[in-house]
Each structure stands twice: as C-alpha cells, then as structure tokens.
Homo-oligomer: A and B are copies of this chain.
Amino acid sequence: MRIAVDAMGGDHAPDEIVRGALLYRASGGAAEVILVGDPARLPAPSDGISVVAAREIVEMGEHPGAALRRRGGTSIGIATRLVRDGHADAVVSAGNTGATMAAALLILGRVRGIDRPALCGMLPTTKGGPACLLDAGATMDATAQHILQFARMASRFMERVHRIERPTVGLLNVGEEPEKGGRMQLEAHELLRGAADLNFYGNVEGRDILRGTTDIVVTDGFTGNTVAKAMEGVLDVMTDGIRRDIFGGALGKVAAAVAMPGIRRFRAHMDYEPYVSAPLLGVNGVSVVTHGRARARMLKLAIDVAERSISSGLIASLGVAA
C-alpha cells in the first residue's frame, strides 16, 4: 500500500507535513509514504518514505483551474497522477481544497453511478464521536438526486472508515417537519425516506450538527460550505473572547492557572483533529483532504484515514446501486 502526500500543501508545509509522514511511519503505519514536492526542502528517502519531485506549488488563495494548468506540474497534480497511474493507492493533501478537488475530478474522474462529488466536513459532537456534514463545498447546485447519492456515499464512508453500523442520516433543513424547506429539500426528503438502504432519521436543523443527532447531515455544497464556515467563525470569535476577555490581564492569568485542568478538558472535548480528514467522495480513487492548518499530528491522522479508506475498499463500495 502506497500513499502519496502533497508535501507542499498547507499552511505549515513542507516541515509539518514531513513530520506528519514520519510520525505515521513511526506509529507503525502499514503504507509506504511518497512525499511529493521540492526535493531540496524534503528529507532524503528512508525506510518506507520515498520522494517524487514536483517543481510547482498551488498557493492557498490560487484559482484551482489555473493552478492545475501550469506547465511544470504542481505537487497536488503529480501526487494525484500517481494514483491514476497505479503508483499510489491514495493521495493526501492539506493544501488548497479547490485544487485538490479539481485535480481529483480531472485526473481520477468520477465513480461510475455517481453524478457529482461531495466533500465531508467532519466535526466532533457533544455526544462523542464524529459527525459528517456533506457536501461541504464540492457541488454547488445539487439536486435531490445528488443529495441521495451523497447520503449513500457518506453512509459507506462512516461504516467503513469510522466503523459506525447503520449510520443515521439527517437532511439539513429549517425545521423537523417533513414539509419544511424549499423545493429541493422537499424532494430530497421524499427520496431519502424511500431509500431502503439508508438509515434515514428525517430533517435536522443547524443546531443538531454538533449535538450528533445524526451521524451524517446531508445538504448541498453551497449550504454545507457556508454553514461550516459560519460555525468556524463562531468558534473563532468565542475562542478569542475567552482568551482576551476572560483570561486576559493579570487577574485573568491567575484564573487561567487555577482553571488549567478544566481548560484542558474543554480543549479535549473540542478536539476535532482525529476526525477532520476525509476523502472527497465520488471520485475514482482515494483523495483525502485535510485542514490547511494541519500540523504533524493532523497530517498523520489524515494518512490513517487514507489507509483505512484503501484497506476497507471504500471506493469500490461507493458506486454500487441500492
């Protein structure tokens, strides 16, 4: 098993990406890791770690399409081609999500039977364990049929990679009642309710996501992306507020020292690193996207997800009709 890692993608590339790959190997990871990037900035090949040169890098703010058309070949483009050509079984990137998706779609193509790809936004829940919010931004104008496909793909992913039996599926909506929502949601509700292979719970609301009301929350890519970023915004504002208002200043520092065990508990509850990495579902190969902020530990966990996606036969399970 071989996993190509885009060594140049992410806020802390390449150093933290390399450290993550070494951590994965040191922790007994079963796959060989192929680091794709600038050899001058990468370590020499070692046991279970090889290097493939890529001269160009896609910057975080760059337009994905333009980036992939660059002559020299970008690290994400080359890493994805390794999968297409059978030199690797999966690609992992903390880089520009748009470019990772574009590379996967253009180079790997779609799984047969799947019309549009979907990105899992993985979140921790107060119930414990992860929830998958999808589509988190791959397909903007999703139809009800696409939503049904997303729900099926996410169910296979949660079963195989997170080992949740018969994961529950909620349709993101403005209310619990089946008659809520716009035209697309009404139609999607009907399709999901009629799908015997899904464990459909019904409609869920935005506040259910973190509660873990269902294992999977399905929506279109526009709503999913907007909701995920809005939630991240609240998290940032709250975290800043706690740091500045409550624990800032002399008195705050004393309080923080006293509260330290509690602060550690709080951080542990909010820890999403074990879940945040997820494959782009619907492309014909394992392409795992992780957070741009990823440091070594998160990168290591992303390689774990890629490994489990390969070994569980995730991709082959996705296109199977109900």
Contact = CB atoms under 8 A, between A and B. Distances in A.
Interface string A219-240: 1111101111111111111101
A231 B209 CA distance: 10
B222 A174 contact: yes
A141 B141 CA distance: 13
A226 B245 contact: no
Contact of A263 (B181, B211, B246, B249): B246
Contact of A206 (B207, B228, B247): B228
A120 to B, nearest CB: 16
A241 B226 contact: no
Given A174-B226, A182-B222, A228-B206, A251 B261 contact: yes
Contacts of A211: 233, 237
A231 B229 contact: no
A320 interface: no
Nearest to A246: B262
A164 interface: no
A254 to B, nearest CB: 5
Interface in A272-289: none
A143 to B, nearest CB: 11
A297 to B, nearest CB: 21
Nearest to A217: B230
Given A258-B258, A262-B245, A210 B237 contact: yes
Contacts of A256: 255, 259
A43 interface: no
A166 interface: no
A173 B230 CA distance: 11
Contacts of A231: 206, 230-231, 233-234
Interface of A: 63, 126, 137, 140-141, 172-174, 177, 181-183, 185, 205-211, 219-223, 225-238, 240-242, 245-249, 251-252, 254-256, 258-259, 261-263, 265-266, 269-270
26 contacts: A126-B240, A140-B181, A140-B185, A141-B182, A174-B226, A181-B222, A185-B222, A205-B226, A205-B229, A207-B232, A207-B233, A207-B236, A211-B237, A219-B226, A223-B226, A230-B230, A230-B231, A231-B231, A231-B234, A245-B266, A246-B266, A247-B262, A248-B262, A249-B262, A252-B259, A256-B259
> Closest 6 CB pairs between A and B?
A206-B230, A206-B229, A207-B233, A255-B259, A140-B182, A245-B266
